[in-house]
Amino acid sequence: MRKLVGVVLLMICLIAPVSSVQADSLWVDSSSAANLFTDHRAHAVGDVITILISEASSASRTGDASNQKQSKVSVDAGAGLFTFVEPVSAGNSDSFKSSGSINNKNNVSGRITVKVTEVQPNGQLVISGTQTIKQNSDIQKITISGVIRAEDVRSDNTVLSSAVADAQLKVEGKGPLSRKQRQGLLTQVFNFVF
């Protein structure tokens, strides 16, 4: 009886369809991390790069203007038929003077991670990214775009903002704080009119 049960089990195992079993590994040989000697710096579309923003700008301008004009007209007494004309003289003097100055200083520092959106034929990387920070009711939005050389990407995937060509850096804010920093409507109207 035991032999019969053993033969039946053997037949069932041989006749039954065999399903294939595969093991999937967490390690993928085709990934960029597979080779310890691979350069892991960003170089393709979709790669991310951290831009280290450290920008300072200052501008000053001083202007002075002045204008002065004088005119004098006189008419002598009339002679002959024009004896009725009395001697007349008139004069005008006008002067204008103004001065003004502007001093502007801006400092922006921070870190923003952007994506490579295009690789140009010469190997330069076009980057673009936006970071939005919401704190209480204030929203601050930092946007940067430009072109970087692949050689300027450091081993930790960072680039200084001074190495970004055609850089466009925008820092915009919305919320109660930015509204308080704007001039009032009446002041804006007076500035426009005068």
Proportion of the chain above pLDDT 70, given as a percent:
77
pLDDT digits (tens, 9 = 90+) for 68-94: 888 887 777 766 666 777 777 878 787
Residue 21 lies in a domain: no
Q: CB burial class (10 A; 0-12, 13-18, 19+) of residue 147?
A: middle
* Any domain includes 154: yes
- Residue 17 domain-assigned (yes or no): no
Q: What is the pLDDT of residues 87-123, one digit of tens each?
A: 778 787 878 788 888 888 888 888 999 999 999 999 9
Quote the pLDDT of residue 35: 60
Q: How confident is the model at residue 129 (pLDDT cuts 50, 70, 90)?
A: very high
User: Is 103 within a domain?
Assistant: yes
- Structural domain includes residue 190: no
Residue 127 belongs to some domain of the structure: yes
Does residue 6 belong to any structural domain of this protein? Answer: no
Contact assessment for residue 145 and residue 111, using Cβ atoms and an 8 Å cutoff: no
Task: Kindly state whether residue 30 falls inside one of the protein's structural domains.
Answer: no
Nearest CA to 143 out of 184, 110, 191, 183 is that of 110
pLDDT the model gives residue 64: 85
Q: Rounded mean pLDDT of 43-62? A: 88
Which residues span the domain enclosing 144? Answer: 39-57+64-183
Cβ contact 41:155 at 8 Å: yes
Number of structural domains found in the chain: 1
How far is CA 104 from each of CA 38, 156, 172, 173, rounded to the nearest angstrom?
46, 34, 17, 19
pTM tops 0.85, yes or no: no
